[in-house]
A and B are shown apart, each in its own frame.
Chain A
C-alpha cells in the first residue's frame, strides 16, 4: 500500500470518528426541543455530552487539516466548491459551541431559550450539509480541467444529495436518542427510548431510499454490479440489529449498532470514492485522485510518522475520558452546564 492510499484511509477514519462521535451529540442537540420539556431536562441532556462534544468536533478539524496536508488540491477544490455550505456549517458550529458554554451561565429564561435554539439549529445544520456535501462528492460535480468547481450553490441541492442529507440527520437523531437512553435515568430515559423507537422506521426508510439513490446516481453499479460487497452489507445488518436491540432495551448494544451503522455508511462513501477524491461530472479525466491531488512523497512521509505516533495516544486518552464519565445522569446529578 502506498502512502497516498494510507492517507486516504486515514482521512476516512477521521471522518468516521467524527460522524460516529459527534453524530450522537448532534442527535442530542436536535432532540433538545423535543425531549427537553423543562429547563432541568434540557440541562440533563446537555450534560450527557458536556465533557465530550468539543473533543468529538476536533475529529472534523483534524480531517480538514489532514486533507490540507496530504491532499492540498482536494482541500482547495472542496472548500472553495462548498463555499456557502461551509459558511453555514461554520456559523452552525460557532453558535452551537458557544451555546453549550453560555446557556446555563445566566438564569434569564430568554437567555437560555436563545442558546437552546442555537444548540438545536447548530446541531441540525451540520449533519444535513455534510450529508449533502458527501453525496455530491461521490455523485460528481462540475469540476473543470484546472480542478476548479464551476457550478453554483444550487447545483449542490439535487434530490440525491438532499436524500443523503436527510439520512445523515436521521442517523444522528437515532444515534443520539439511543445515546440518551443509555446515558440517563428516569423519565428522560423512558422518553429517549420512545423517541429512538419512533425514529427507527424513518431511518430505515431513508436508508433504503439512499441505497437506491446511490445505485442510480453513482457508477457503483459499474464497479460492483448488484452485489454491494461485504462492507455495505455489514451496515444493513448493523441497522437491523440496532432495531432489535432498541426493541429489547439493550441500550449499550443498540448504541454500538447505531455507531456501527454510521461507521459503515461513511466507509462505504469513501469506498465508492476511491481512488478518486473529487469526481468531475464534466469529464472523468478531470477527476481529482489520491495521486494528482496529493502532497509530495516527502511530506506524506513526514505526516505519516506524526500520525502513527499521535493517533494511538489520542484514541487512548479520548477513550479514557469516556470511561471517566461513564455513569448515567439522573435528576439528582450535579450539572455543570
Chain B
C-alpha cells in the first residue's frame, strides 16, 4: 500500500469520525439554548431540568467533537503538505479565522456554562449557551468556506506554482457555500431533533416521574425537526442544482448516468457494470433527473463518458471518473434516509399537535430506532461530496495524488492510521456507554432530588 492510499484512508476515517459528533453539537447546542431561554423567560423548573439533562448529553458529545477536531487541523500539514503549500495562501485564512472567531468563544463560554450555574446570573448563563451555539455554527461556516474553495475555487490567481488569494470576499461568498452551509446547519438540527425525539419517546414509554419534561422535549424537537428536515430537503435540492453546473461529473457519478441524456431519467435502482460503464439492470423515472436538476422536463444532463472525454481534452489524459459504486449508493443512502426522516418528523408533529403522544406507544417506540437515520445521511452526504470530487483535491486545479506529503514514508502513515483507528474505536465505546447511561437515567428533577439507580452496564469489568 502506498502513502497516497494510506493518507486518503486516514483522511476518510478521521473526517467521518469527526463528523459523527459535529452535527449533534451544532444542533443540540441550539436546542439546549432554546430550552434554557424558556427557563429564563418562564421561570418553570421543568425547563431547567430539561436544559441540564440535554446539556449533559451535549457535553459528552461535544468533548469528542473537540478532540477529534484537532486532528483535522493538523493533518493537512502532516499528510498533505504539498497540498498545504499549494493552497495555504487561501485555505489557511478560514482555518485561522475559525480558531480565532469560533473556537475561543465556544470553549471559553462552554466553561462558563458548565461551571457557572452558581457563579454568574441567569441571564449571563443563558448568554453563554447561546454564544456556544453561535460559535459552533460559526466554526462550521468557516470550515465550509475552506471546503467550498476545494469544491469550487474562486477569487485566486496561480502565481509561482501556488494559488494566491486576490479577492477575500469572493472566497467568503463562494456560490458553493450558499447551498452547502444551510444544508449542513439544517442537518445538524435534524440530527439533534431525532436524538431528542428518540430519547424522549423512550422515556415516555416507560414509567417516569418527569413525563412533563419528556413531552415538552418531544414537542420542541418535533417543531425544530420539521423546520430542519424541510430545510435539509430544500437546501439539498438546490445544492444538487448548483453542482450540476459546478461539478457535473459528481452528479453523473451519483446517478450512474453513463451517457449524456436529454431528457435524463432519475435512477431508482441501478446495478451497473462500472468497468464497461453500462447498466446491467436499471429502473429510471424518465425525465425526472432533468426536472430535478434543471427545473424542466426536457434538458440535457451530461453523462460520465462524455465528461471523461471532455476533461481529457481540457486537462490531459487520466481518469476523471469518481468511484461510481460509492457515489451512487451514498447518494441513495443520504436521500433515502432524508425522505424517511421527512415522513417520520411529519408524523411526530401530528402526534404533538393532536396531543396524543402517549396514546400511540407503538409508533412512539419507532423513534428510538430512528436515531441512526441522520447519522447515515450525514456520513453518506460527505462521502458523496468528497469522493465525488475525484480525482481533484482542489477541483480543476490540483489532483489528490499531487497533494500528499512527499517526505513522509508510507509506514508512518500506516502506523498513524492504525493508531487513530484503534484509539477512536475505544473512545467510541466509552462515548456511547456514557450517552446510553445518562440518556437512560433521564431527567433529574431538582425538586424531588431522589438518588437515581445506576444502569446495569459495566464497561470496565470488575
Residues of A within 8 A of B (CB): 47, 50-52, 54-55, 57-58, 61-62, 64-73, 75-81, 83-84, 86-87, 90-91, 93-95, 97-98, 100-102, 105-108, 110-111, 114, 147-150, 295-296, 298-299, 302-303, 306-307, 310-311, 314, 317-318, 321, 324-325, 334, 336
Contact = CB atoms under 8 A, between A and B. Distances in A.
Contact of A86 (B74, B93, B95, B434): B74
Interface residues of B, number: 76
Contacts of A324: 112, 116, 119-120
A296 B159 contact: yes
B104 interface: yes
B85 interface: yes
Given A55-B111, A101-B60, A302-B165, A114 B81 contact: no
A67 to B, nearest CB: 8
Given A54-B110, A336-B115, A80 B165 contact: no
B459 interface: yes
B390 interface: no
Interface residues of A: mostly helix, strand, loop or mixed? helix
B243 interface: no
B92 interface: yes
B407 A97 contact: no
B70 A79 contact: no
B272 interface: no
A150 B66 CA distance: 32
B460 A110 contact: yes
A15 to B, nearest CB: 13
Nearest to A321: B108
B114 A336 contact: yes
B100 A311 contact: yes
B460 A94 contact: no
B17 to A, nearest CB: 11
A93 B70 contact: yes
B93 A55 contact: no
A317 B77 contact: no
Contact of A306 (B74, B87, B97): B97
A153 to B, nearest CB: 8
Closest 4 interchain pairs by CB?
Answer: A72-B88, A79-B77, A69-B92, A51-B111
8 contacts: A80-B79, A80-B405, A94-B70, A98-B64, A98-B430, A295-B164, A298-B165, A317-B109
Nearest to B63: A101
Given A94-B68, A106-B437, A148-B406, A51 B59 contact: no
B412 interface: yes
Nearest to A62: B99
A110 B461 CA distance: 8
A64 B73 contact: yes
Interface string B286-330: 000000000000000000000000000000000000000000000
B88 A73 contact: yes
B164 A296 contact: yes
Contacts of A102: 60, 63, 430-431, 434
B111 A54 contact: yes
Nearest to A314: B104
A68 B460 contact: no
B450 interface: no
A314 B101 CA distance: 8
Contact of A296 (B89, B415, B437): B89
A69 B107 CA distance: 22
A237 to B, nearest CB: 31
A43 B114 CA distance: 15
B82 interface: yes
A303 B423 contact: no
Contact of B112 (A51, A67, A77): A51
A54 B62 CA distance: 11
B412 A61 contact: no
B84 interface: yes
Contact of B93 (A47, A69, A317, A318): A69
B116 A68 contact: no
A111 B438 CA distance: 16
Contacts of A98: 63-64, 67, 427, 430-431
A123 to B, nearest CB: 14
A280 to B, nearest CB: 14
A180 to B, nearest CB: 17
Contacts of A296: 89, 159, 164-165
B85 A93 contact: no
Interface in B122-178: 159, 162, 164-166, 168
A119 to B, nearest CB: 13
B111 A299 contact: no
Contacts of B68: 94
Nearest to A310: B100
Given A57-B107, A58-B104, A80-B408, A64 B74 contact: yes
B78 interface: yes
A295 B430 contact: no
Interface string B406-428: 11100010011001000100010
A105 to B, nearest CB: 6
B66 A79 contact: no
Nearest to A93: B70
A92 B412 CA distance: 18
Nearest to B110: A54
A75 B84 contact: yes
A287 to B, nearest CB: 16
A94 B100 contact: no
A93 B70 CA distance: 8
Contact of B103 (A58, A311, A317, A321): A58
B434 A105 contact: yes
A68 B462 CA distance: 47
Contacts of B95: 65, 68-69
Contacts of B162: 72
B165 A68 contact: no
B101 A58 contact: no
Contacts of A51: 111-112, 114-116
A62 B108 contact: no
B88 A76 contact: yes
A52 B76 contact: no
Given A64-B74, A65-B99, A149-B407, A73 B90 contact: no
Interface centre among B78, B434, B437 (most CB of A within 10 A): B78
Contacts of B74: 64, 79, 86, 90
B105 interface: yes
Given A83-B408, A108-B458, A299-B165, A54 B100 contact: no
Contact of B78 (A80, A299, A318, A336): A80
Contacts of A101: 59-60, 62-63
